[in-house]
Amino acid sequence: MQQAPFHQLPDDRSQPARAFWAQAGDGVRLRMAHWPADAARGSVLLFPGRTEYIEKYAPVAHRLMAEGYDVLSIDWRGQGMSDRLQPNPRPGHIRDFADYQHDVVEMIVAAEQLDLPRPWHLLAHSMGGCIGLAALEGGMAVQSAAFSAPMWGINLRRMQQGVALGIAYLAGRVGRGGLTAPGSGGAATTYPLDESFNANLLTSNGDEWARLVREAVAWPDLTIGGATFDWVGKALNECARLSRIPSPDMPMLVSVGSDERVVSPQAIRDRAARWPQSELLTIPGAKHEILMEKDALRDLFYEAMLARFEAS
């Protein structure tokens, strides 16, 4: 495995991950990172969300390491340090949502090569939850799954889904599918630099928000901006497809905050109701990123997740 860069802020004294490059079957170069635990009792495959990068999850990885779990995470194609998918690297873009499964395959290959301790568990946030459910549908071998605000539906706010799909389709037909869709975020920078803390949809934890701002300033090349018309259309279609599949036969925890405004809480509740071995955790006062929320809110999710992993 060829070594890849891994960034840390100047005042971060935590153990850095071992980052490395991999290549998907279709030729896209991917960056992954491994945090090994001492005397591990299992491993967690950590699937990030849209716009995210490996370094953002270092505090999560260290908490899981302290609980005895190896952690393996990835920069999805089109974001972080993995290959961008069009000449303009700023918008979040995808040609087909099924392409993310190429990345999952390489992640499993890396887990095997690293001989990650078993059992393996899935932890997936937001878009990673969409990718993760599709991977479980395809038979990804994990013992249990924990989802943080999974993107099983998108909160379009005032726009109807059919209208959004129509606009994305027309943009693609006229060769503008790679342009940033209005309302998906700024194209030039990234969300923590575009939005104020008081108005942000991600977290009510000021320290975590400040960390995200510092990282965006320090490592602008790791960030992306809003989503393209193609990404929006493909994402909506994938969410609709996943809504029709049966639930996997495995234990699952899913959390949604009472202040969720990014993904669809109803889609999460609908899936949980159709998943026999599921636990739905609704967290009062939490926004989209429970893993980066205030300690008391974040701990509710960690306690439930760790209990789920241990029982599996």
Q: Residue 185 is part of a domain; what is its CATH number?
A: 3.40.50.1820
Residue 160 lies in a domain: yes
The pLDDT-based confidence of 188 (bands split at 50, 70, 90) is low
Judged against a pLDDT cut of 90, whether residue 271 lies above it is answered with yes
The pLDDT score that the predictor gives to residue 195 is 93
The pLDDT score that the predictor gives to residue 170 is 72
The pLDDT score that the predictor gives to residue 199 is 96
The pLDDT score that the predictor gives to residue 20 is 98
The pLDDT score that the predictor gives to residue 162 is 58
Residue 183 lies in a domain: yes
Residue 191 lies in a domain: yes
- Residues 135-183 have pLDDT tens digits of 999 999 999 999 999 999 998 765 656 556 667 667 777 777 888 887 7
Which CA distances in Å does 182 have to 95, 168, 236?
18, 11, 15
What mean pLDDT do residues 208-227 have? 96
- Across 281-298, b (16+ Cβ under 10 Å) vs e yields bbbeebbbbbbbbbeebb
Q: Average model confidence (pLDDT) for the chain?
A: 94
The pLDDT score that the predictor gives to residue 264 is 97
Residue 272 lies in a domain: yes
The residue type found at 206 is G
Residue 5 lies in a domain: no
Terminal CA-to-CA distance of the chain, rounded, Å? Answer: 31
The pLDDT score that the predictor gives to residue 205 is 98
Number of C-beta neighbours around residue 129 at 10 A = 27
167 vs 222, more confident:
222
Judged against a pLDDT cut of 70, whether residue 186 lies above it is answered with no
Residue 11 lies in a domain: no
User: The pTM is what?
Assistant: 0.96
Closest CA to 78 of 224, 268, 290, 183: 224
- Residues listed for the chain: 312
Residue 7 lies in a domain: no
Judged against a pLDDT cut of 70, whether residue 190 lies above it is answered with yes
Residue 13 lies in a domain: no
Domain range for 143: 18-311
**Dihedral angle over CA of 213, 217, 221, 222, nearest 10:** -30
Q: How many domains does the chain have?
A: 1
